[in-house]
Amino acid sequence: MTLSLLKKIETATLPLQLTQRAEMDEAQLLRAADLVAALFLRTAGDAPAPPHRVARVLAITPRGRALLAAERPPEPGEPGGAVNGSLFATATPPQPPATRHGGAGAGAP
């Protein structure tokens, strides 16, 4: 799965070179989603061998880091985190109930 590759990239020393076709395909998806910065290269093989492809992951983008952070459970003592795993969830602090003031001048212009 692509998210597991993103987690693998997070723990790896960058730049990370990928040579397996499945990982390169996943890296292309991560790059298309703007989660990583990566290069896809063709290397020249020896005369009888055809060129082969490699992917070099250079960095995890801010969007990729935000996704990784949203996937992690909050640390003990850390406030909530994302709601339902949503990357774009925001918390709204509770508001005190509205009070009504009666008496002279209430509602008067």
**pLDDT (tens digit, 9 = 90+) per residue, 52-100?**
899 999 999 999 999 999 998 877 766 654 444 444 444 555 566 666 6
pTM: 0.65
Beta strands in the chain (DSSP E): 16-18, 36-43, 52-60
List pLDDT tens digits, range 9-32: 999 999 999 999 999 999 999 999
Euclidean distance between CA atoms 109 and 107, whole angstroms = 7
